Amino acid sequence: MPALWIRHARIVDPAAKRDAVGDLFVVDGKIAPSLSAAAKKRARPLDARGLVACPGLVDIHVHFREPGQTHKETIATGSHCAAAGGFTTVVCMPNTSPPADTAGTIQFIEDAVERGAVVRVLPTGCITVGMKGQTLAPIGSLKRAGVVAITDDGDCVQSNELMRRACEYAKMFDLPIMDHCQDASMTQGAVMNEGAVSTRLGLRGWPNAAEDLIVARNVILSEYTGAHIHLQHISSAFSVDVIRRAKSRGARITAEATPHHLALTDAALGTYDTNFKMNPPLRTEADRRALIAGLRDGTLDCVSTDHAPHTDYEKDKEFDYAPNGILGLETSLAVTLDVLMRQNKFKLTRVIDLMTHQPARILGLPAGTLATGAAADICLFAPEERWRYEANAGFSKSRNSPWHGQTLTGRVKTTIVGGRVVFHDGRVVAR
């Protein structure tokens, strides 16, 4: 692999508190402090003048649908979406068919990653067998098979006692639990946020309390057992307050927000467009503002996409019957930059921190830094370039994006994984 010489970039590495124009050097797939004059002559140059060079983005919440749902997405196509979005490490959820509740299924996923992924794809395992919330999955075997966390994402464990036991085992095996916070008894038949908009549209409402109750439950269990629980896609202002107070007591709680919950509200559902239907649902403006405040003060730890592909024929139904979920990887950086940096005056270094170092820290991943000796996972992007996102021309097998046809600002130009260019100027570079 030839050495790389990335020249004249604005290098933003929040883990190292670095923000300066300079050069990056890559040797044997790792960040090097410099190159000799002779090595510079042999190196592959990349002119990054006017671009930001940051650690490859890290997303700890994606759905790649393999095995069993490859009509929506595969590990290969999902990894192409990730590369196009500037992501070099992603963590995929276990709600596949069959669910990832055995070492054999984890091995199948890892084999698929080895065959077709262009970025680093890390698996999670189920908390319960079949994600049915009845019996614990073999957590020790899943850890040995290589999972980085356990979760029943999409099917929150409803039994408090079973969740307590899961916490005890997770702590024993030093695995974080990632939890989709939803009291299912309060959301039967619900399709959007409960409030004035749901009443006007005649759609069954989904109360904030369904999230708030489980967030509070998880805080209690984390403090009771000492387990690390990561709260996925927080959407409620009340939940943000619960998490803030829990962290002030030292609870082992971390939490994420998604770009769509930061950017959109339930007002977007006025045309019954199912590309705005998701779980948890889009909430109110007050909830949206609370999420931004939570990211500002550290109550919420990172931004994750919850990339959830569905086919056109699945989404093209009456609102009540369409599945929840949207694409997120290719638009995440632009949307997050717009909401946090342009609209809410976050510093660029803080936004990059929320999408690199912080998600890596939550799961203890060796990512999110440009330190000497670290893997050369790098994202180069033009922060002010405007571009039109066309979901039909994207890299996913699905098209379910609320940003289809919109002009976004901030475009990924090059993605490098382990020193190898995997995406450049709109094209994925095949393995």
Residues with catalytic roles: 306
User: Do residues 9 and 52 lie in contact, with contact meaning Cβ atoms separated by under 8 Å?
Assistant: yes
State how far the Cα of 81 lies from the Cα of 324, in Å rounded to an integer.
Answer: 19
Helix H or strand E segment including 259:
helix 259-263
Token reading at 306: 């919850």
User: Do residues 400 and 328 lie in contact, with contact meaning Cβ atoms separated by under 8 Å?
Assistant: no
**Amino acid letter for position 231:** L
Per-position b or e across 45-84, b if 16+ CB within 10 A of its CB: ebebeebbbbbbbbbbbbbbbbbebbebbbbbbbbbbbbb
Cα angle, residue 402 at apex, residues 398 and 403 outer, rounded to 5° = 95
Could you tell me whether strands 30-32 and 18-27 are parallel, antiparallel, or unpaired per DSSP bridges? antiparallel
State how far the Cα of 227 lies from the Cα of 176, in Å rounded to an integer.
Answer: 7
State how far the Cα of 73 lies from the Cα of 310, in Å rounded to an integer.
Answer: 8
State how far the Cα of 205 lies from the Cα of 358, in Å rounded to an integer.
Answer: 33
State how far the Cα of 352 lies from the Cα of 396, in Å rounded to an integer.
Answer: 24
CA 116, distance to chain mean position in Å, is 20
Cα angle, residue 259 at apex, residues 257 and 260 outer, rounded to 5° = 105
Q: How many C-beta atoms lie closer than 10 Å to residue 298's C-beta?
A: 11
User: Do residues 109 and 62 lie in contact, with contact meaning Cβ atoms separated by under 8 Å?
Assistant: no
State how far the Cα of 262 lies from the Cα of 244, in Å rounded to an integer.
Answer: 18
In the block, which residue shows the tokens 């203890």? 364
